Structure 1
Amino acid sequence: MYDRWLIVIAWQLDELRWVADDVLDEIVRRDGACMYETVADEPDWNEEQLTDRALAARLCAGCPVQDECLELELRAAGERTVGVWGALTEDDRRALHWYWRQRGERAGGSR
């Protein structure tokens, strides 16, 4: 089931395969929920013990550019990815990277 989920995500990212890196970067910086300059208050779930996957889901909830963020991180960091990008954990992105690479060439020569 996990592999199928990763294949679906890799397939979804195909629509971004020819978007240039600098364009993806601009979109994520401009529209990414985590890039907003002001945060009103600390989240009320800060004290909860969350799994990495739950934390990633919460941090990126409602972000309009999750796919763009994920595509950019896979291109930039590949298997060396760290942190939370595209609502996925490091482990999930590392596992996804293989499937993503199988989908073919990307803008900027990423493969």
Structure 2
Amino acid sequence: MKQALTPAHFLANILDPMARGGKLSQEEVDSALEFRDKCYPKCMATIINYRAQSGPFKLYMFTSKLNVLGAVASSAGTERVFSTFGIVHSKLKSRLGAEKAGKLVFIYKVLNTEH
């Protein structure tokens, strides 16, 4: 199995919101970061912020039971949220920031849920 795993696999494990590289050895982490530096040098700051749980990444993305980064894109609920986001953040409303658009989608979904 060790022969099948590459630095790209280790980097994917580091970026996985559930694993976050927790079970990787320091040697595997180092090889993943060297791979990142070689193949994706422009992503260095973003990956550092992700690992530090800072920058554009909010703490709830890592601790919430509903993990935003781990959402399954093929589920019907997620598809409905993306559809609603398309309605809220259309070409006519493109100046609306992502954070404000997300809040509007949340309010829209809360007010339009059937009990």
TM-score normalised according to structure 2 size:
0.26
Which structure is richer in relative contact order (CA contacts within 8 A, separation 6 or more)?
1
TM-score normalised according to structure 1 size:
0.27
Structure with larger Rg:
2
